[in-house]
Amino acid sequence: MEFEEEIGGYVELVNKALEEFFPKSPDENYYREVAGISYGEIDAQALYESVVKPAWDLLSRGGKRWRPVLGLIVYEALGGRADEVVKLLIIPELIHNGTLMVDDVEDGSEFRRGKPCIHIIYGEDIAINAGNTLYYLPVSAVLSKVKLSEEKQSVLLKIYMEEMLKLSLGQALDISWHRGLGEEINEARYLLMCDLKTGSLARMAVRIACLMANAGKEADQVLSRFASSIAVAFQIQDDLLNLVGDESLYGKEVGGDLREGKRTLMVIHALRSLPSEKRGRILVVLGKRDASREEITESIELIKSCGAIEYSKAVARELVENAWRDVEHVLKPGRAKDLLRSLAEYLIVRNR
């Protein structure tokens, strides 16, 4: 059985919870409840057109849902049932889709999940505001219906605030680097950026799962580190696919990261490994929005020529293997533990 089929039940649980807490056609009462609006006349149609419709346009295109699935599997590995915690785990998934809408504006991207980006269809103003709405709406929507103890709610909000701040700081680093700001970009700084930007929502999912399972400090720390590591490995694989992936499967333009000027692990490795003349040819293309297909192809070939692809795959593999060694000691043997290992493997060998 393919891994995506194996986790299909979890994905279905997540999708049902998404519709429950972020309905496709919410009425006026929905906004009153989630936003605490007790006054005035709400234009539900306007909110549908500017928030719900664009958000569900993106959500309906699919997506791996691997962050909430990660949280569900961790929760089961700690002795719980997925249906007990799925409502809380839509929080990082809705936030993730919000970040995609905003990131695509910031990056000037044109395609997402095989279709035009949300800002291309609806406009940048709508995409940014709808994305920002998804940063806050799921927390309010879920906590208005899921009753937690005062202590658990306090910890949940602390997790949310910490990881959201890390996410924004990671994005700030990424933006700064491809605009030529900041100090020299090296591998350690790149890995921290990925940990902040991509690791935050995976960590949020796992920390929520650990909180609800009363996992204890050691398990929480080990599993949070595991989430960080597989998220960074996922980002490395995503960057790899942007260079050498199949565009029809990947759903975005191959080579687009070069046009945006992104300093990926492959680019960093190439710039420290290649002779100056070849480095210069890559640097000319990095951030060149109107770079030709020939220039992009040449840069990709130069990056490949120094072993950057193989090196990056090895780094991703090592991240996962090192993190898993600690997980072995805190989780009991069982199907959920096996699935967790399979999820980590899937994230670094996927082709889309």
Q: Is the sign of the CA dihedral 172, 236, 351, 208 positive or negative? A: negative
Cα angle, residue 157 at apex, residues 86 and 83 outer, rounded to 5°? 10
| Mean pLDDT of the 177-187 span | 85
Question: What 3-state class would DSSP assign to 54?
Answer: helix
CATH code at position 330? 1.10.600.10
| Exposure class string for 240-269: b at 16+ Cβ within 10 A, else e | bbbbebeeeebbbebbbbbbbbbbbbbbbb
Q: What pTM was estimated for this model as a whole? A: 0.93
pLDDT per position as a tens digit, 101-127: 999 999 888 999 989 999 999 999 999
CA distances from 71 to 66, 96, 160, 210, 222 (A): 9, 14, 14, 8, 14
pLDDT per position as a tens digit, 233-280: 999 999 999 998 776 666 667 888 999 888 999 999 999 999 999 999
State the residue range of the domain holding 314.
Answer: 3-349
Per-residue confidence at 2, pLDDT binned at 50, 70, 90?
Answer: confident
How many residues are given for the chain?
352
pLDDT, position 161: 98
Tokens linked to 233 = 């490995």
| Exposure class string for 140-171: b at 16+ Cβ within 10 A, else e | ebbbeeeebeeeeeebbeebbeebbebbeebb
User: Total structural domains in the chain?
Assistant: 1
Please state the φ and ψ torsions of residue 112, each to the nearest 5 degrees.
-145, 125
